[in-house]
């Protein structure tokens, strides 16, 4: 079976059944074949239903989790997105079809190169990569309409919230007592609002066990 059929099977079995999934998002998954964003040694695992460990606690999130992230962030095509952590570039590629610009910060040079190569091979031209510490974000390009952290965190860092524009939103996966919950954070003037979305599982990213956090 060729990769197009395997990608379609993944969509039919893992993406379409998600409650609230739209046809617009489903079409995006049809445009981006997941296998083209996998390291050579992991291509046989491209369409499986679980997170895939790459290195040093970094994982490729499973297809359903990626789909839920994109669905709940509700991107509009005029918005700019900051994605912290790129793993293989798959999430960045999918986001690129629903945003004006996707800025990706990745500190691991090997993952950064893999992501950049995959984005170029798929002829995507609105994703920009920066090699920097994920925990620093991208101050020079801020503020952002949307911020997504691709990995678990224990607490919300102030310096990342500061890069979110008024009226913007951030999707994070917060780990507390070994339970991970995806949450949307909305910034409205001087107030921050939290909305719990769904439970999931992702390891905590290095550097996101911060003491300097937002208190609420």
Residue 113 domain-assigned?
Answer: yes
- Nearest-CA neighbor of 158 among 102, 86, 210, 203? 210
Residue 195 domain-assigned?
Answer: yes
What domain range is 127 assigned to?
51-200
Taking the C-alpha atoms of residue 190 and residue 96, their distance in angstroms, rounded to an integer, is: 30
| CATH number of the domain to which 112 belongs | 3.40.50.150
The H-or-E segment that residue 171 falls in is: strand 164-176
Tens digits of residue pLDDT in 62-102: 999 999 999 999 999 999 999 999 999 999 999 999 999 99
Residue 37 domain-assigned?
Answer: no
Write the burial class of residue 40 (CB in 10 Å: 0-12 exposed, 13-18 middle, 19+ buried): exposed
Number of domains in the chain: 1
Residue 215 is predicted with a pLDDT of 47
Residue 179 is predicted with a pLDDT of 86
Residue 31: pLDDT band with limits 50, 70, 90: very high
Residue 5 domain-assigned?
Answer: no
Taking the C-alpha atoms of residue 199 and residue 114, their distance in angstroms, rounded to an integer, is: 29
Tens digits of residue pLDDT in 161-212: 999 999 999 999 998 877 899 999 999 987 899 999 999 989 889 888 756 4
Residue 214 domain-assigned?
Answer: no
Residue 211 domain-assigned?
Answer: no
Residue 188 domain-assigned?
Answer: yes
Question: Residue 106's beta-bridge partner residues?
Answer: 131
């Amino acid at each position: 079976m060729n990769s197009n059929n395997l990608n379609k099977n993944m969509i039919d079995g893992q993406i379409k059944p998600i409650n609230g999934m739209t046809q617009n998002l489903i079409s995006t998954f049809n445009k981006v074949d997941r296998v083209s964003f996998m390291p050579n040694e992991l291509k046989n695992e491209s369409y499986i239903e679980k997170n895939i460990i790459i290195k040093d606690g970094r994982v490729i999130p499973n297809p359903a989790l990626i789909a839920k992230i994109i669905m709940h962030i509700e991107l509009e095509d005029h918005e700019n997105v900051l994605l912290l952590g790129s793993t293989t570039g798959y999430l960045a590629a999918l986001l690129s079809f629903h945003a004006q610009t996707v800025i990706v910060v990745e500190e691991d040079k090997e993952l950064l190169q893999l992501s950049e190569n995959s984005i170029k091979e798929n002829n995507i031209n609105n994703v920009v990569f920066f090699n920097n510490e994920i925990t620093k974000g991208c101050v020079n390009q801020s503020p952002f309409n949307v911020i997504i952290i691709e990995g678990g965190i224990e607490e919300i860092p102030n310096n990342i919230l500061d890069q979110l524009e008024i009226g913007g939103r951030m999707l994070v996966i917060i780990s507390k007592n070994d339970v991970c919950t995806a949450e949307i954070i909305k910034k409205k003037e001087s107030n921050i609002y939290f909305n719990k979305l769904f439970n999931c599982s992702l390891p905590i990213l290095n550097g996101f066990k911060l003491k300097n956090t937002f208190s609420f």
